[in-house]
Structure formats: structure tokens, C-alpha cells
A = this chain, B = another copy of it.
């Protein structure tokens, strides 16, 4: 592609190194440490025998998510939300997005009357924490569901597809894939794309940080994201078959 040099030296269309460490902690039904470059998120999936009020008696299950950053996961210390007494608007936005994304690939009828409660806690942040959370949460959910099937609690998997997310943006005039913190804090346009393994779009969130962007830029970013998601899907499948 172009001649720009990203802070990391990566090509515009290159992902950061991506690894999934399964069974990172021992209590959760699914527990995955996802590393996307220097971003590290611990994603757990808990199987709970309870339902939110709007699902009680429906015969269906539920998938929900919570998100948090450890106070010193960031360059400078961020206030602890538990100490401040409330979650920020950003936190709520992200955990709603994670929940919606995972629900897109879980058949709630087949899940039965139980909740998959996902927790994504950022141990180290270097950009793209919401995307890393979705990627890791999928692996944790797959492990939790595999456990339910192994235990005979589920006869058939409620997973209808895989799900992954990646950020794309315009950095110094060039569309680039998988922004790290240095790029994220200095980019013109920032877009998060959530897609299934089969290529269906689940969520597109594009924001002009500086000047508005054109339709052509949007198309270029979507092309980059689609190619990125394909690579992530391969890694998720490799991790799950390891």
C-alpha cells in the first residue's frame, strides 16, 4: 500500500500479534486472556442459573456482558469505578456492545433458561480494548458452551457462528487496520466493526474524530476491517481447536 510508517512499523493492513490463552483462571466456565499487541483483556464466561426479569418464564436464555479497566491498565492511573460509585458512559457503551455482539451468535432458545455472563477486564490497555474484548469473549463463551455440552446440560450447541471485532481508522491520511494507542489518540476517523465468521455485519460504529469523512473512506475502512476479521476468525478457530 502506501509509504506511511505507522508508529509500530506495521503495514497498513497488518494486525498486531494476536493470542488467546484459554483456561487463564480456574473458576470460570470459560476464561481467556486475549492479547492484541500490548492490549491484554481477561474475558470470562460464567454460566448462571438465573435470568433477568424480562426473560423469566420465556423458555429462553440470556447473554450479557460487563466491562472494566483495572485502574493502572492505562498510561496514567484511571479512577476505580467501584470507588467512584458508578460506571462511566464509555464503560456502559462498551459493555452493551459486547453483549449485543455475542447475542448475535447465540441462539437463546437453544441456550435454555440460563445466563451466560461475560466479564471483560482490561489488565493492560494499548488501544482496541472493546474489540479485543469481543474477540476474547467469543472464545470464552465457546469454552463455556463446550463444557455444558460435555456435562450433558446441552444436547446441541446454541452457537450459530463465530464473532470478532476490529478497529480501523484513518491515520495521517491513510486507512489502517487495528489501531494501537499511539494511532488511536492521533487519528481522524475511528471505526469499530463487528462481524461473524461467515462475514455478516453485526455492528458498525464509525466516528469522525476530526473532520467528517467521505463515503469512499468508509468503503476503504470496511474493506480493511473485513480482511482483518477474516484473519482473527482463523486465530479464534485455531485457539479453540488447540
Which residues of A come within 8 Å of B, CB atoms? 25-28, 31, 38, 40, 42, 44, 46, 48, 66, 68, 70-75, 77, 80-83, 85-87, 89-93, 95-96, 100, 104, 117, 119, 121, 123-125, 161, 191, 195-196, 198, 200-208, 211-215, 217-218, 222, 226
Contact = CB atoms under 8 A, between A and B. Distances in A.
Nearest to A119: B71
Contact of A124 (B25, B85, B95): B25
Nearest to A221: B204
Contact of A68 (B48, B82, B123, B125): B82
Which of A95, A121, A212 has the largest count of B CB atoms less than 10 A from its CB? Answer: A212
Nearest to A100: B207
Considering the complex of A and B, which 7 residue pairs feature the smallest CB-CB distances, nearest first? A200-B212, A89-B92, A81-B82, A44-B72, A28-B72, A204-B206, A82-B82
A92 to B, nearest CB: 4
Contact of A66 (B80, B96, B204): B80
Contact of A93 (B26, B40, B66, B92): B92
A82 B75 contact: no
Nearest to A223: B215
Contacts of A70: 42, 44, 119, 121
Contact of A40 (B25, B38, B66, B195): B25
Contacts of A104: 208, 212
Contacts of A205: 204-206
A87 B81 CA distance: 10
Given A27-B75, A203-B207, 10 more contacts: A27-B74, A46-B71, A89-B93, A92-B93, A198-B212, A201-B213, A202-B208, A204-B206, A205-B205, A215-B222
A124 B214 contact: no
A72 B28 CA distance: 6
Contact of A119 (B26, B38, B68, B80): B80
From A66, A90, A104, A207, residue with most partner B Cβ within 10 Å: A207
Contact of A208 (B74, B89, B203): B203
